[in-house]
């Protein structure tokens, strides 16, 4: 019974995420749907500036805290509606609040790492204990690892609160800059009368953030190859 009470906050967040996915949340945030509702969304923001911004922060907080793969669509939508600067600032708040909720729920559920962790976490623990700062920032900076999964993993690894908040803010903000820029460029093209389609993604202003995300995605492969080469050189010298 005690174990079930400890798991309850995390189970509640995960259940909420499943309900959101089953309810078709992704279809409401699809680029095509956003393009159709672009003018209406801008009008709503103008009529209710504070309420719309608070609602956006609340939505991103909810999506991030549940760990479902929908935060990217929300962030792009934020850039499309609020622009690059405001979109990035609002998304930073929502992303940090959501990740903090998921982190606290996971740490409470897993007893701050006192109980035996699964094999995946055990494999990470050895390297994490030696270089916690480097390891935490590496996981946060590389977009290959899902944001929610990293949050749960860091809670399992007993990541200090200050380090979790710092890495989530810095690592998340860097990703937000590029993701929000994609939405902002979509908004500018739609405002200029461009039709929604693949041609919009070939715009030079769109290719820059997309290329930056692609480079971050291949970062783990480059690092592993360099580490493998360094290991071969050391073994050859020995």
Most confident of 92-96, 126-130, 203-207: 92-96
Read off the pLDDT of residues 8-59 as tens digits, 9 standing for 90 and up: 888 899 888 888 888 777 777 776 777 788 888 889 999 999 999 999 999 9
Q: What are the C-alpha distances in Å from 166 to residues 68, 170, 193, 212?
A: 22, 6, 40, 22
Mean pLDDT of 126-132: 71
Task: Name which residue leads in pLDDT, 72 or 217.
Answer: 72
- Determine contact, residues 212/178, Cβ cutoff 8 Å: yes
User: Tokens 């070939």 — which residue?
Assistant: 202
> What average pLDDT does the structure give for the chain?
77
Lowest-pLDDT choice from 67-71, 119-123, 209-213: 209-213
Q: Which of 116, 213, 99, 223 is closest to 165 using CA atoms?
A: 99
Q: Which of 205, 160, 155 is closest to 182 using CA atoms?
A: 205
pLDDT value at residue 113: 47
Read off the pLDDT of residues 149-204 as tens digits, 9 standing for 90 and up: 888 888 878 888 888 898 888 877 777 887 788 778 777 767 665 555 545 555 55
For the chain, where are the alpha helices, taking DSSP H only?
A: 2-22, 25-28, 31-36, 38-47, 49-66, 71-109, 119-130, 132-141, 147-156, 161-191, 204-217, 219-237
- pLDDT band per the 50, 70, 90 thresholds, residue 226: low
199-232 burial by CB neighbour count: b if 16+ within 10 A, else e?
Answer: ebeeeeebeebbebbeebeeeeeeeeeeeeeeee
Sequence-distant (≥ 6) Cβ neighbours of residue 96 within 8 angstroms: 165, 168, 169, 172
Q: What is the DSSP letter of 30?
A: S
- Determine contact, residues 183/78, Cβ cutoff 8 Å: yes
How many other β-carbons are positioned within 10 Å of the β-carbon of residue 27?
Answer: 10
How many other β-carbons are positioned within 10 Å of the β-carbon of residue 166?
Answer: 15
Read off the pLDDT of residues 95-128 as tens digits, 9 standing for 90 and up: 999 999 999 998 888 775 455 556 666 666 666 7
**pTM (2 d.p.):** 0.76
The span from the CA of 222 to the CA of 22, in Å, is: 37
Task: Name which residue leads in pLDDT, 65 or 30.
Answer: 65
Sequence-distant (≥ 6) Cβ neighbours of residue 86 within 8 angstroms: 53
The span from the CA of 116 to the CA of 122, in Å, is: 9
């Amino acid at each position: 019974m005690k174990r079930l009470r400890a798991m309850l906050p995390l189970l509640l967040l995960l259940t909420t995420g499943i309900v959101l996915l089953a309810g078709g949340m992704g279809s409401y945030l699809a680029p095509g749907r956003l393009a159709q509702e672009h003018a209406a969304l801008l009008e709503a923001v103008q009529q209710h500036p504070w309420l719309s911004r608070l609602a956006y922060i609340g939505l991103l907080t909810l999506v991030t805290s549940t760990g479902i793969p929908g935060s990217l669509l929300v962030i792009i939508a934020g850039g499309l509606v609020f622009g690059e600067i405001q979109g990035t600032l609002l998304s930073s708040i929502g992303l940090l609040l959501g990740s903090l909720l998921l982190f606290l729920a996971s740490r409470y559920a897993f007893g701050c790492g006192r109980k035996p962790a699964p094999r995946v976490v055990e494999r990470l623990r050895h390297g994490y204990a030696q270089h916690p700062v480097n390891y935490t920032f590496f996981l946060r900076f590389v977009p290959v690892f899902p944001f929610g999964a990293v949050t749960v993993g860091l809670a399992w690894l007993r990541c200090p609160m200050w380090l979790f908040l710092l890495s989530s803010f810095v690592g998340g903000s860097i990703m937000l800059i590029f993701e929000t820029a994609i939405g902002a460029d979509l908004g500018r093209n739609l405002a200029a009368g461009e039709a929604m389609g693949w041609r919009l993604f070939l715009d030079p202003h769109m290719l820059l953030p997309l290329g930056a995300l692609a480079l971050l995605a291949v970062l783990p492969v480059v690092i592993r190859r360099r580490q493998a080469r360094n290991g071969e050189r050391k073994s050859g010298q020995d």
